[in-house]
Amino acid sequence: TLCVLGSINLDMVIQTAHLPRAGETVTQGKFHSTPGGKGANTALAAQRLGANVRLQAAVGNDPYAKEALSSLRAAGVNLKSVATIDKEATGVAFINVAEDGENQIAVASGANAVFSPDHLSAITEAAVLSQFEIPVPTLLAGLNSYDGFVAVNASPFTPDVEKVFQRADLIIVNEGEYAAYLSDLEGYSGLLARTLGGEGAELFKNGKLIATAKPPKVEVIDTTGAGDAFAAALTVALAEGQLETDALNFACTVGALATTKLGAQSAAPTRDEVETLLKV
Ligand code: ADP
């Protein structure tokens, strides 16, 4: 039912007392690796919510690929359209996290950056959801011969994406992205969701505010992946035919639940967890 066109990374996380300065070595860190990448995070979140998800993406021909795909595989996401690109590395993010929660991230996109139209197969699902961690020409090529529902989480900020916006039915941005894209969004007449962190989210249609939602009160542990989970949930809910106000509320609850656990993919809630919270 849903095709996600996006990135796959393996996140390598080191927690230290403080962030290293240029030239400094900080020792006694704690290391863990965990699957990431906006495409992968979104695909997993949507699958947990009950959608049938196929991920179109690329990994390198290296040992990191298997680990980067492990959670997706376990959740049952269709990985048949994940290309393995020879002589390329799987995308990795080196993340330093200090005790006070401050972080520093270096990303090597690897296979994601050379994911090309040649690697794509036709999108046949009722909806497609993408982000800007893969080349924009690849995204446009995928959308070219597709006439279903197009959702774009316009993150990270990328210039010159007017052609993508022209084809979008739903654009999802956070506060910073909203400000950065303001002029590109002039004349956009589709649905636009703006997330506001702990304040929730707003939904605009043809430039007019049509709905707002507040997240339920939760104990926030780690907000990584909250935006990805929100985008997956809003797309799934709208594709299911939920009313726009209900869909926004659903997505806000999913985003909030995603902040209650460490990590991006491990924190994506199941449909049951969301429904339970929506009932109270
Ligand atoms: P991004 O991570 O893309 O910047 P936001 O921080 O705006 O996205 O968060 C996306 C969604 O996640 C919000 O709309 C909300 O539903 C949920 N969320 C984020 N931070 C919190 C928080 N502190 N408390 C409750 N929900 C949150």
Q: Each residue's pLDDT tens digit in the chain (280 positions)?
A: 999 999 999 999 999 999 999 999 999 999 999 999 999 999 999 999 999 999 999 999 999 999 999 999 999 999 999 999 999 999 999 999 998 888 899 999 999 999 999 999 999 999 999 999 999 999 999 999 899 999 999 999 999 999 999 999 999 999 999 999 999 999 999 999 999 999 999 999 999 999 999 999 999 988 889 999 999 999 999 999 999 999 999 999 999 999 999 888 999 999 999 999 998 7
Q: Which atom of ligand 1 is nearest to the CA of 175?
A: 7
Structural domain count, the chain: 1
C-alpha to C-alpha distance for 140 and 130, rounded to whole angstroms: 10
Residue 215 located in a structural domain: yes
Residue 97 located in a structural domain: no
Residue 64 located in a structural domain: yes
Distance between the two ends of the chain, CA-based, in angstroms?
29
Residue 228 known to be catalytic: yes
Residue 265 located in a structural domain: yes
Residue 178 located in a structural domain: yes
The candidate with the shortest Cα–Cα distance to 237, out of 266, 211, 206, is: 211
Q: What domain range includes position 266?
A: 2-7+38-88+113-279
Residue length of the chain? 280
Tell the residue nearest (CA) to atom 11 of ligand 1.
255
C-alpha to C-alpha distance for 41 and 104, rounded to whole angstroms: 20
ipTM exceeds 0.90, yes or no: yes
Tell the residue nearest (CA) to atom 26 of ligand 1.
256
Residue 30 located in a structural domain: no
Query: Residue 197, CB half-sphere, CA atoms under 13 Å: how many?
Result: 7
Residue 68 located in a structural domain: yes
Query: Residue 79, CB half-sphere, CA atoms under 13 Å: how many?
Result: 19
Do 41 and 265 meet the contact criterion of CB atoms below 8 Å apart? yes
85 CA distance to ligand 1 centroid (A)? Answer: 34
pLDDT for res 222: 85
125 CA distance to ligand 1 centroid (A)? Answer: 28
Type of residue found at 73: R
